[in-house]
Amino acid sequence: MPRIRVGFICGKDTDFVEHPGKGPQYSKIGNPKFLADMPDRYRVDPASHEYLVDCEAGTQGQAHCDVALAWYIQKHYPDISVDIITPEELCLQRLQSNDLNFTLGYNAVNISVENNDSGPRKREAFEKAKNIFPTWEAEDFILIKSKYMKACIKAGVPMAPTIFAPKGNRSPTQLLKQIKARGWRSFVMKQSESGFCLGFLKLSVEECEKSPKILNDYFKEYAHCPEFIVQEAIEGFTRNWETRCFWFNGKFLYAIANMAAVSTKDQKEHIVTGKDIPKEFLENAKKVGAAAIKSLPDLKLPNGKSVKNILVRTDIGCADSQLHDRNTNWDPNKRTFFLNEIEPSSTTYFVRWLKFDCIPMYAKLYAAKAREIYKKMKAAKKATKNTKTAMKTKAKKPMKAMKSSRKVMKASMQKK
């Protein structure tokens, strides 16, 4: 059986597995020795956040979980040939040269944030490649937040009161009018196709009325953004754990929970995982997350067949106080768990914060998924080939019959 050529689109620079300094280290839960022979070109300079292939000779770097995962598969799964694709190598031709490709650490959000000359080429690769997973249809369903949010709202998944402000149909005065009509006192603004908290803003109605320039400036600075997501501010969000659940093939893998620095005594972000996550938060996060991912489309293959989603992350917040939205009736005396966001496969894995080595687990899942997709794609090609052959054979038969009939007629004429 031929080896399956699988591309892994990488680009992480905040989820390292090689870390000589202080803090949580992957080496305490896993053995990084498998990275000893990985080419340095795939390591990232912690200062410039560039791959060493693009840095001056002698620059030292760290391997992050996306290239580490790809390299682990290369070394442990002989039926798979790995092609590690860094951001500047990403193009449609490179993706088409592989049997299939997985997005591990770089996607359209990164392209939007970078906003450089190579963006159009990379965007074309994501949109036009028919052998990339998640597919562009599934990726775009998450990137344009209103798509999955509206689907989740329709399905009854709890979510903060929300106003969608698409480009071409919004203005500062109109938005503030909508917010006041809903009864909100404070609100947050974020954007589709954005990450790393860029464009995130928390405001009160009072300060916007006193200084209209705040919203006016925001609308001017982010005029290019396809849509703003505006939500009533949930005060309990920052003083409770936000629980992030990881899913693959629709099945729960693990969770991490973090609490914002503004809510902790030492003014530092706290992260817990495993049994350290309070049971109430974990169980409710799994319940809300499981309902949310049902709204996502399956991954369609070029031949019309489909497979379940690869890695997806659901971020679940917690409310514990009064909301002012006129259309929402959450009990202020109880905790209400709600969907904050859904993240695609290029999300942060939190590898070094876990209590177990997740690299072998992810390697097994991605290798199995590659085989599943490859098998379905090959089966469809074989079926198509057989159909074409059958059609040609069927078309030839009448011709043979006509030739045979002519011979009979000719013989009969000669006898006469």
pLDDT tops 60 at residue 115: yes
127 and 19 in a common domain = yes
Together in a domain, 165 and 202: yes
356, 29 contact by CB (below 8 A): yes
Mind listing the pLDDT tens digit for each residue in 51-108?
Answer: 999 899 999 999 999 999 999 999 999 999 999 999 999 999 999 999 999 999 999 8
Nearest to 310 by CA among 276, 347, 340, 277: 347
Residue where a domain stops, chosen among 232, 249, 272: 232
**Lowest pLDDT segment from 112-126, 162-176, 390-404:** 390-404
CATH number (domain holding residue 328): 3.30.470
End-to-end, the C-alpha distance of the chain in Å comes to 62
Mean pLDDT of the chain: 90
User: How many beta carbons lie within 10 A of that of residue 188, not counting itself?
Assistant: 16
Question: Is 159 strand, coil or helix?
Answer: strand
**CATH number of domain containing 201:** 3.30.1490.20
Candidates 51, 72, 78; CA nearest to 8 is 72
Q: 79: domain range? A: 4-134
**217 & 259 share domain:** no
Residue 349 has pLDDT above 90, yes or no: yes
In a domain, 150, yes or no: no
Q: How far apart are CA 341 and CA 331, in angstroms?
A: 22
Tell me, yes or no, whether 379 lies in a domain: no
Tell me, yes or no, whether 209 and 293 share the same domain. no
Does any domain span residue 145? Answer: no
HSE on the CB side for 196, CA within 13 Å? 12
For residue 182, pLDDT beyond 60:
yes
What six digits make up the tokens of 285? 């996060």
Distance CA 145, CA 103 (A): 19
